[in-house]
């Protein structure tokens, strides 16, 4: 038997592995599903996501294998992480590197091994995705290619975990800094007459921390999208493969979860963009009736499934063509209507657009102030709920978070967008009797020449 030598970057590789915070953690569905696919595609009874530590190899995912870890010096994976491509041992008994290996001679009596190194973007290979058989075995080129593709998806999961850990660390540092700054501001406020200069400095630091938070969230959201899009893309490709119904269900679950995570990341990214002042509003002509239909059409089936009456109306005689930002206004209405449907079990959701101020001449066009109103007969909110309604990452109450889900950014985004457009988002609500959100915006109205 020949034990594998350590990689040239062994110290940095092990340090990176420990920074992942994945060793000795519980099983996770994302890794188990990839291992299950590897076992199925390669037609082997065993598939493992193996992480090679200093003196052991520890299995994050185990398909058909009961042992949680084995010594590194007898590990096949310790050889595999030294490779740039798949490492394959067709018959371990005829290979002098493994013929005397206790894992070959004793349980689990490995005869066939194929593993791909999990090469991360920073050049480290913390482990492998491998398949094992109790008898000699060979893989087709298509199976080898598929194993490599699945290995890439394991890497995407590891890098997503790494980015998430960095994000949590950075957010903790920012929150700690904010806490220190808030304490300092309170102390200086008590002695405002003699410490006005210190108060100004504290405010500048708080603003700097807020900008750092927005920049960090925007950067991390962009970085998280890359591996996540890779996972979603691979899920789409695997849907086309010949798999069992159960495996297709797993893929569908993976795809739905990925899309939800992508939606949440996009919300964080947009909120960061708004907070940093980088949002740009468009000034283009559009039809109010088309805006209304584009908001209601995608959610009609959801409202119908809940037995809700969903309606939208423009006030009679309203000027339908205006100049403004169609996409951001559509986003505001879509979030408000989506929330109304989500929090309404019986009754109706109504959307109305009506002019609020008479038009006045302005060159070739005139401006009209429009009132947008979204009313529902849903669960409603208390006065206490309304106090924090538009704060980011906050929902009306914790039970709503558990029951309906969401990151608590939707209404915060609506509030900021309405403010950027020159309006103010307001709400009237009674517990058990529904809510009405409304805001007014002024637009130039397109005047058709005769």
Whether the pLDDT of residue 217 is over 70: the answer is no
Give the residue-averaged pLDDT of 406-412.
Answer: 70
Confirm whether 450 is domain-assigned.
no
Same domain, 344 and 230: no
- In this structure, the answer to whether residues 301 and 241 fall within a common structural domain is no
Residue 51 has pLDDT above 90, yes or no: yes
Alpha-carbon distance of 19 to 447, in angstroms, equals 62
Predicted pLDDT at 17? 94
Residue 267 and residue 386 share a domain: no
Residue 417 has pLDDT above 70, yes or no: yes
Question: Would you state the pLDDT for residue 263?
Answer: 59
Contact call for residues 188 and 195 (beta carbons, < 8 A): yes
**Whether residue 13 is found in the same domain as residue 59:** yes
Chain segment 353-372, per-residue pLDDT in tens: 998 755 444 444 467 899 99
Residues 268 and 331 in one domain: no
Q: Do 191 and 317 belong together in one domain? A: no
**Amino acid 129: pLDDT:** 97
Q: 164 and 15 in one domain?
A: yes
CATH number for 115? 3.30.450.40
Question: CB–CB of 377/348 below 8 Å?
Answer: yes
E strand or H helix that includes residue 49: strand 46-52
Statement to judge: residues 363 and 421 lie in one domain: yes
Confidence of residue 395 (pLDDT cuts 50, 70, 90): low
Residue 379 lies in a domain: yes
Instruction: Say yes or no: 234 and 301 in one domain.
Output: no
**What is the span of the domain harbouring residue 107?**
1-279
Query: 261, exposed or middle or buried, with CB in 10 Å at 0-12, 13-18, 19+?
Result: middle
**CATH assignment at residue 437:** 3.30.565.10
Which single residue is written with the structure tokens 């059409």? 297
User: Of 230, 251, 279, which one is at a domain's C-terminal end?
Assistant: 279
CA distance 238 to 17: 28
Tell which of 221, 255, 279 closes a domain: 279
Q: Is the bond preceding 108 in cis, omega lying within 30 degrees of 0?
A: yes
Residue 352: half-sphere exposure toward Cβ, Cα within 13 Å = 13
pLDDT confidence bin for 72, thresholds 50/70/90: very high
- Kindly state the average pLDDT of the residues 376-381: 92
Q: Assign 336 a pLDDT band (cuts: 50, 70, 90).
A: very high
List, for residues 83-107, the tens digit of each pLDDT value: 999 999 999 999 999 999 999 999 8
Residues 304 and 266 in one domain: no
d(CA 261, CA 272): 17
Tell me, yes or no, whether 267 and 289 share the same domain.
no
Q: Does 129 reside within a domain?
A: yes
* Strands ordered across the beta sheet of 69-71: 69-71, 56-63, 46-52, 127-133, 112-117, 87-89
- From 262, 279, 296, the end of a domain falls on 279
Residue 53 has pLDDT above 60, yes or no: yes
Contacts 24+ apart (CB under 8 A), 360-363: 362/444
Does one domain contain both 166 and 55? Answer: yes
Q: Which helix (H) or strand (E) holds 16?
A: helix 10-19
For residue 128, being part of any structural domain is answered with yes
Residue 425 resides in a domain: yes
What digits encode the pLDDT tens for the residues 252-286?
777 666 666 665 666 666 666 666 666 788 899 99
Determine the pLDDT at residue 407: 47
Q: How many domains does the chain have?
A: 2
Q: What is the pTM of this model?
A: 0.47
């Amino acid at each position: 038997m020949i034990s594998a030598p350590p990689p040239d970057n062994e110290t940095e590789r092990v340090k990176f592995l420990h920074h992942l915070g994945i060793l000795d953690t519980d099983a996770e569905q994302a890794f188990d599903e990839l291992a299950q696919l590897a076992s199925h595609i390669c037609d082997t009874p065993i598939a493992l996501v193996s992480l090679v530590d200093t003196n052991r190899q520890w299995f994050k995912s185990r398909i058909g294998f009961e042992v949680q870890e084995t010594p590194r010096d007898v590990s096949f994976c310790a050889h595999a992480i030294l490779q740039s491509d798949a490492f394959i041992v067709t018959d371990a008994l005829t290979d002098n590197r493994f013929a005397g290996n206790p894992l070959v001679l004793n349980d689990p009596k490995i005869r066939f091994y194929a593993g791909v190194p999990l090469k991360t973007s920073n050049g480290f290979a913390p482990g492998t995705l491998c398949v094992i058989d109790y008898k000699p075995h060979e893989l087709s080129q298509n199976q080898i290619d598929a194993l490599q593709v699945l290995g890439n998806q394991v890497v995407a999961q590891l890098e997503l975990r790494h980015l998430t850990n960095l994000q949590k660390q950075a957010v903790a540092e920012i929150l700690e800094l904010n806490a220190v700054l808030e304490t300092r501001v309170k102390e200086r406020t008590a002695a405002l007459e003699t410490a006005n200069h210190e108060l100004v400095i504290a405010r500048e630091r708080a603003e700097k921390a807020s900008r750092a938070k927005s920049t960090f969230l925007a950067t991390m959201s962009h970085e998280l999208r890359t591996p996540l899009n890779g996972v979603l893309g691979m899920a789409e490709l695997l849907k086309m493969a010949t798999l069992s119904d159960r495996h297709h269900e797993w893929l569908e679950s993976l795809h739905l979860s990925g899309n939800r995570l992508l939606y949440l990341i996009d919300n964080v990214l947009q909120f960061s963009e708004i907070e940093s002042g980088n949002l740009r509003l468009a000034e283009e002509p559009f039809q109010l009736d088309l805006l209304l239909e584009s908001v209601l059409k995608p959610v009609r089936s959801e409202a119908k499934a809940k037995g809700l009456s969903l309606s939208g109306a423009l006030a009679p005689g309203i000027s339908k063509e205006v100049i403004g930002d169609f996409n951001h206004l559509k986003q505001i209405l879509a979030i408000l209507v989506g929330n109304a449907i989500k929090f309404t079990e019986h009754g109706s959701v109504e959307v109305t657009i009506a002019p609020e101020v008479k038009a006045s001449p302005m060159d070739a066009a005139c401006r009209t102030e429009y009132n947008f109103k979204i009313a529902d007969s849903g669960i409603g909110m208390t006065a206490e709920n309304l106090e924090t309604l538009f704060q980011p990452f906050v929902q009306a109450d914790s039970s709503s978070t558990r029951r309906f889900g969401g990151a608590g950014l939707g209404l915060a985004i609506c509030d900021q967008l309405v403010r950027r457009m020159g309006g103010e988002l307001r709400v009237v609500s009674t517990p058990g009797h529904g809510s009405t959100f409304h805001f007014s915006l002024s637009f130039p109205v397109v005047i058709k020449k005769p």
